[in-house]
């Protein structure tokens, strides 16, 4: 059974475009990962500083491997300067 991840990323108001560029840069390398089923970035229409990844992974191991990739590690190093708070990453399992 696959794993669904919702990652909420609140950008600083003065860093919206920089945050958007950083997050968009994660899409291609992440989609190329073996365990990635779906990886989509969304931006809130009412609050452009509110970004959200909705992801589907083969399993927890695939997500854990993603979290250790060089491209994600590099992005995580930049997040403190771009985000208004820590990312809120939630793992969900389909139950019905």
State pLDDT tens for residues 22-66. Answer: 999 999 999 999 999 999 999 999 999 999 999 999 999 999 999
pLDDT for 17: 98
Identify the pLDDT of residue 47. Answer: 98
Sign of CA dihedral 38, 51, 26, 85: negative
The pTM assigned to this predicted structure is: 0.94
Q: What integer pLDDT is reported at residue 96 of this predicted model?
A: 84
Q: Give the burial class of 19: count Cβ atoms within 10 A of its Cβ; 0-12 exposed, 13-18 middle, 19 or more buried.
A: buried
**pLDDT higher than threshold 90 for residue 19:** yes
As given in the structure block, the two tokens for residue 94 are 């389909």
- pLDDT over threshold 90, residue 94: no
Give the tokens for residue 3: 């794993």
């Amino acid at each position: 059974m696959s794993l669904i991840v919702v990652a909420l990323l609140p950008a600083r108001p003065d860093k919206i475009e920089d945050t958007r560029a950083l997050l968009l840069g994660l899409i291609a390398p992440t989609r190329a990962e073996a365990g990635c089923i779906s990886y989509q970035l969304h931006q809130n229409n009412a609050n452009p500083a509110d970004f959200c990844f909705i992801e589907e992974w083969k399993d927890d191991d695939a997500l854990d491997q993603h979290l250790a990739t060089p491209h994600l590690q590099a992005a995580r190093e930049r997040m403190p300067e771009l985000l208004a708070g820590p990312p809120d990453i939630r793992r969900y399992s389909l139950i019905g």
